Amino acid sequence: MARGWESKSVEQQQAEMADQHLSSRRPLSDIQQKLSRKREGLLLSRTSLVRQIGPTTQARHRRMLELAVAEIDKQLAECEQDTQTPCP
pTM above 0.85, yes or no: no
Kindly report, residue by residue over 2-52, the tens digit of the pLDDT.
555 555 566 777 777 777 765 556 677 788 888 889 999 999 999 999 999
Q: Does the residue 37 lie in any domain?
A: yes
Kindly report, residue by residue over 47-84, the tens digit of the pLDDT.
999 999 999 899 999 999 999 999 999 999 988 887 66
CA atoms of 8 and 2, how far apart (whole Å): 10
Q: Does the residue 52 lie in any domain?
A: yes
Runs of H (alpha helix) within the chain: 2-24, 30-53, 59-84
**Number of domains making up the chain:** 1
Q: What phi and psi values does residue 57 have, to the nearest 5 degrees? A: -110, -25
CA atoms of 1 and 41, how far apart (whole Å): 46
Q: Does the residue 48 lie in any domain?
A: yes
Q: Does the residue 36 lie in any domain?
A: yes
Domain region containing 77: 30-88
Q: Does the residue 12 lie in any domain?
A: no
